[in-house]
Amino acid sequence: MVIGGDAAGMSAASQARRLKGPDELEIIAFERSTFTSYSACGIPYWVSGDVAGPDDLIARTPEEHRERDIDLRMRTEVTEVDVAGQRVRAVDRESGDTYWTGFDKLVIATGARPVRPELPGIDAPGVHGVQTLGDGQALLDSLDHAAGRRAVVVGAGYIGVEMAEAMLKRGFEVTVLNRGEQPMATLDPDMGKLVHDAMDGLGITTVNGASVTKILTGPDGRVSEVATEERTYPADVVVLGIGVEPEAELAREAGLTVGPHGGILTDLAMRAVGHENIWAGGDCVEVLDLVAGRSRHIALGTHANKHGQVIGSNVGGGYGTFPGVVGTAVSKVCDLEIARTGLREKDAQAVGLRYVTATIESTQRAGYYPGAKPMTVKMIAELRTGRLLGVQIVGREGAAKRVDVAAVALTAGMTVEQMTALDLGYAPPFSPVWDPILVAARKTVAAVRGAGS
């Protein structure tokens, strides 16, 4: 039995079905919304007009799941889990019918819910989240009713900056209100500053240190302004991108263990700790940060799909483990690519690691090759040992996915000195003869040695 019919839940169901046929394993999945197996990650590109959507964002329809003998019950919400009795209570949102049904094995994949502060005016027409395909459609419909072309995006994390791009492409004048020191708080502020400057260059106004206090409406009841402690910003549409928190209430109420960040705690096999027959995965769980050695909540589709695969393997009688993450994420705002993996300076400080940093400027192609554009790489390594701790990249086309090399190095526990000898590919259209990652590693080695002496 699966609760939650998106990335983690339906990956688990599909993988279990691959391993066991319907005569061996009955699979029931509950999804409270009208969508299943879709890519929320594609919403910003649907809103921008880069992808047609929303059909393009649906990986598998309910009918396709049912053809594979998965009893997917749409618009049906699980409202209670009775762990001891091995049963759940479900409510059919169409008919209102409520029923209990039993399970041998339970998968909780309830995702995350967007943070929506209780501000005056937050529910006014013209204020939109972008968590679901329904939200995406509502935002697009709302753009048709907007009296003017001024958009305010609240939040400057990756969803905020992606939505800033989307609104810019829709012809809006965009202001991003960011509570933090710089946009992209998943980067150190010095790298976030590069994002800020680039957004300025794109014509996106970013206001740092801006805490929204209320949303004002016009005579028609629609959003008209967004107020911060300092001033107000005119707005014909508002997009909220202020982060998410684990949707783990159901699990908590059922007595499952929840971690310091509010996510369900699991073991290596993605089993809810202390429960033989209950698994949990995706945005509703916490993951082990392999670099810092502590639990974190990171809501990313890349993890949710892997969790589902692991859970489905285990539920289906196979074998799978998910050891943890190194914290890799990529994003973009127009042609600016942003990437990070591992620890920021403040993460290293929080776990008591002493470190050095090095920042280099390079290009993603040989400097003489057409289209060569600047990119900045910041590398963090542990003092004395030289162990790689983190990498952040800001650059243009071809910059972001270079972070994957660093993600592998982190996973392997490599030192920056070992990284300098990595046999990375080179030809002028793809990189300078010294790849920017290698240049950064060399400079970080020098910093480690310098600090040592």
CA distance 298 to 391: 17
Could you say whether residue 47 binds ligand FAD (CB under 6 A)? no
Choosing from 31, 165, 225, 347, the residue that interacts with ligand FAD (CB under 6 A) is 31
Could you say whether residue 139 binds ligand FAD (CB under 6 A)? no
CA distance 387 to 434: 21
Q: How far is the CB of 41 from ligand FAD (least distance, A)?
A: 3
Choosing from 14, 131, 362, 415, the residue that interacts with ligand FAD (CB under 6 A) is 131
Q: Judge whether 284 counts as a catalytic residue.
A: no
- Pick from 101, 103, 105, 147: nearest CA to 126: 147
Choosing from 225, 236, 283, 345, the residue that interacts with ligand FAD (CB under 6 A) is 283
Residue 368, Cβ neighbours under 10 Å: how many? 9
Q: How far is the CB of 284 from ligand FAD (least distance, A)?
A: 6
What residues contact 381, with CB distance under 8 A and at least 6 apart?
Answer: 355, 356, 357, 387, 388, 389, 415, 416, 444, 447, 448
Could you say whether residue 8 binds ligand FAD (CB under 6 A)? yes
Cβ closest to ligand FAD, residue 48 vs residue 385 = 48
CA distance 450 to 107: 51
Cβ closest to ligand FAD, residue 16 vs residue 109 = 109
Total number of residues shown for the chain? 453
Catalytic residue (choose from 25, 41, 119, 122): 41
β-partners of residue 237 are: 151
Choosing from 7, 152, 184, 377, the residue that interacts with ligand FAD (CB under 6 A) is 7
- Specify the DSSP class assigned to residue 360: E
Cβ density class 5-21: b for 16+ within 10 Å, e for less: bbbbbbbbbbbbbeebe
Question: What would you report as the CA-atom Rg of the chain, rounded to the nearest whole angstrom?
Answer: 23
Give the interface segment with ligand FAD, choosing from 20-28, 117-125, 293-301, 346-354 (CB under 6 A): 293-301
354-393 positions binding ligand FAD, by CB under 6 A: none
Cβ closest to ligand FAD, residue 78 vs residue 393 = 78
Alpha-carbon distances of 140 from 126, 237, 400, 438, rounded to whole Å: 10, 10, 28, 43
Give the interface segment with ligand FAD, choosing from 56-64, 258-266, 300-308, 408-416 (CB under 6 A): 300-308
Cβ closest to ligand FAD, residue 282 vs residue 342 = 282
Nearest 10 degrees: CA dihedral of 361, 366, 372, 378?
Answer: -20
Could you say whether residue 33 binds ligand FAD (CB under 6 A)? yes
What residues contact 157, with CB distance under 8 A and at least 6 apart?
Answer: 184, 185, 186, 241, 242, 243
Give the interface segment with ligand FAD, choosing from 24-32, 56-64, 255-263, 314-322 (CB under 6 A): 24-32
Residue 63, Cβ neighbours under 10 Å: how many? 8
How many residues of this chain interact with ligand FAD, rule: CB under 6 A? 33
Choosing from 1, 2, 4, 403, the residue that interacts with ligand FAD (CB under 6 A) is 4
Q: How far is the CB of 446 from ligand FAD (least distance, A)?
A: 34
Could you say whether residue 160 binds ligand FAD (CB under 6 A)? no
Q: Please provide the DSSP assignment of 262-309 as one string.
A: SPBPB-TT-BBTT-TTEEE-GGGB-EEETTTTEEE----HHHHHHHHH
Choosing from 53, 155, 246, 282, the residue that interacts with ligand FAD (CB under 6 A) is 282
Choosing from 15, 17, 44, 326, the residue that interacts with ligand FAD (CB under 6 A) is 44
Q: Hey, which bits of 292-401 come out as E strands?
A: 294-296, 329-333, 336-342, 355-363, 374-382, 388-395
Q: Which tokens hold the place of 165?
A: 């791009």
Residue 58, Cβ neighbours under 10 Å: how many? 17
Cβ closest to ligand FAD, residue 110 vs residue 357 = 110
Choosing from 15, 27, 37, 77, the residue that interacts with ligand FAD (CB under 6 A) is 77
Q: How far is the CB of 135 from ligand FAD (least distance, A)?
A: 8
Q: Are strands 388-395 and 336-342 parallel, antiparallel or unpaired?
A: antiparallel
Alpha-carbon distances of 230 from 207, 236, 253, rounded to whole Å: 11, 20, 41
Choosing from 53, 54, 111, 157, the residue that interacts with ligand FAD (CB under 6 A) is 111
Cβ closest to ligand FAD, residue 17 vs residue 32 = 32
Could you say whether residue 286 binds ligand FAD (CB under 6 A)? no
Are 127 and 209 in contact by the 8 Å Cβ rule? The answer is: no
Could you say whether residue 165 binds ligand FAD (CB under 6 A)? no
203-262 positions binding ligand FAD, by CB under 6 A: 247, 250
Binding footprint of ligand FAD on the chain (CB under 6 A):
3-9, 30-33, 40-41, 43-44, 77-78, 109-112, 130-131, 159, 247, 250, 282-283, 299-302, 304
Catalytic sites, residue numbers: 41
